[in-house]
Structure 1
Amino acid sequence: MHRARPGTRVAVPAAWPRAVLFDRDGTLIEDVPYNGAPERVRPMPGARQALSALRRHGIALGVVSNQSGIARGLLTPADVDAVRRRVEELLGPFDLWVVCPHGPDDGCGCRKPAPGLIHTALAWLGVELDRTAVIGDIGADVDAARAAGVRGILVPNEKTDPREVSAAAQTAPTVLAAVRALLGIGPPSGREAGR
């Protein structure tokens, strides 16, 4: 499942990403398990400012999200789309949404930590691997980034497993700090151990 918003891209400095892909739950919005209710959508601290900074610089924005509630019969694609619309009402438009509707045992290639969602997003956006970053709150997000060959930044929260934090190549305390690190407009936050 995907949805693209066509837009005009401007040139960005070579050191910056041309696209940043975000996990949805626990990264952009509060993690409400199997949420199909738009009224329960609450932005994470700093998410709006982070996205605004990227939009100001003409960087493409996408969401790559596992939504196994569809496979489990807890959500419909229409529920997921209603939440997407509410996220965009609160945080602004994204260039692309790519959602995996499969369950953990379905063996698909799109469910994170597999790289399929990221590969699909990059194909639609026409962005190179070395000009893409993924920001997420759990190990599966940064593992998918690594598997796809793109930079991953972990923004842990209270639900993130400490072992995933230890294993991450780069962490940041907030989504805004992660974006500032990508743009080089603030001191690196968290651990910077390469890509």
Structure 2
Amino acid sequence: MRLIILDRDGVINFDSESFIKSPREWIPIPGSLEAIARLNQAGYRVVVATNQSGVARGKFDMVTLNAIHQKMHDSAQKAGGEIDAIFFCPHAADEDCDCRKPKAGMLNAIARRLNVSLKGVPAVGDSLRDLQAGFVVGCVPYLVLTGKGEKTLEKGGLPPGTQTFDNLAAVVDHLLLMPTAAGSDAGASKESRKKQ
């Protein structure tokens, strides 16, 4: 099974400093839904792992979050794609849960649910915490420059082997040229040196 783990805000859809609080505010980044469809066509299962502390902060409730995710599912399907599952952390940072990225609880839950190892699985995010959560469970970290990505790249401190691309569509272009889902360490280090 080929698997890829995507962050949501800033990777699939435009991010907002004031949170995505309604389905109307959920707007896909051009090319992202088509990229998910291309992944599916290549045999990838697409799973989303997203911190949604807006729930704990009272910015929106679970009914609204579910409606946002339903819009994301529907939009992906209209583009010919399928999101296999969405895992989310509804907690605020001060709740010290184990599921909020950069902790790995959410990714470990994905591994348990799908009964797979995450070693070599691409994990795509726009923030350092996305990359760190993936890296500690053996994922290959991919930074996109959409969302918070440019600021994340400027700050540095990325996990070893992080590869940087303009957007999700560019990550998918890269993955679909690779011979295996896990990819090649040589290619990863070369790309990492080129981009950082």
TM-score (norm 1): 0.81
Structure 1 gaps, min length 5? 1-10, 12-17
Measure, in 2, the Cα distance between the counterparts of 1:108 and 1:39. Answer: 29
Q: CA deviation at 1:163?
A: 3.3
- Residue ranges of structure 2 left out of the alignment (5+ in a row): 179-186
Q: Normalization by structure 2: what TM-score? A: 0.81
In 2, the alpha carbon distance for the partners of 1:57 and 1:133 equals 14
- Aligned residue pairs total 177
**Aligned 8 A contact 1:156 1:165 in 2:** no
SS of aligned partner of 1:94: coil
User: In 2, Cα distance between the equivalents of 1:153 and 1:131?
Assistant: 12
Q: Per-residue deviation at 1:164?
A: 4.3
Kindly state the Cα deviation for residue 54 of structure 1 after the two structures are TM-superposed: 0.9
RMSD: 2.4
For the structure 1 residues 23 and 158, does the alpha-carbon distance in structure 2 shift closer, same or farther, using more than 3 Å as the test? closer
**Cα distance in 2, alignment partners of residues 76 and 128 from structure 1:** 32
Shift of 1:109: 0.9
Q: CA deviation at 1:41?
A: 1.5
Structure-2 separation of matches of 1:113 and 1:141:
6
- Write the mapping of 1:13-92 to structure 2, written as runs, cut at 5 A: 18-32=2-16, 33-92=18-77
Counterpart residue type for residue 182 of structure 1: L
Q: Which residue matches 2:144?
A: 155
Q: 1:174 aligns with which of 158, 167, 179?
A: 167
Task: Give the whole-Å Cα distance in 2 for the aligned partners of 1:87 and 1:98.
Answer: 13
Supply the distance in 2 between the matched residues of 1:140 and 1:35 (Cα, whole angstroms): 19
Identity of aligned residues (%): 29
Any idea what the Cα deviations from partners look like across 1:126-169, whole Å, max 9, x if unmatched? 22222421111111111111122211100023633243456352
Deviation at 1:70, TM superposition (A): 0.9
Distance 2:89 2:154 in 1: 25
* Correspondence 1:71-150 to 2 at 5 A: 71-92=56-77, 93-150=82-139
CA separation of 1:164/1:192 partners in 2, compared to 1, >3 Å: closer, same or farther? farther
CA distance in 2, matches of 1:131, 1:84: 27
Give the 3 Å change call, closer, same or farther, for CA 135–97 of structure 1 in structure 2: same
Paired residues of 1:23 and 1:135 also in contact (CA < 8 A): yes
| Structure 1 residues 90 and 165: CA distance shift in structure 2, 3 A | farther
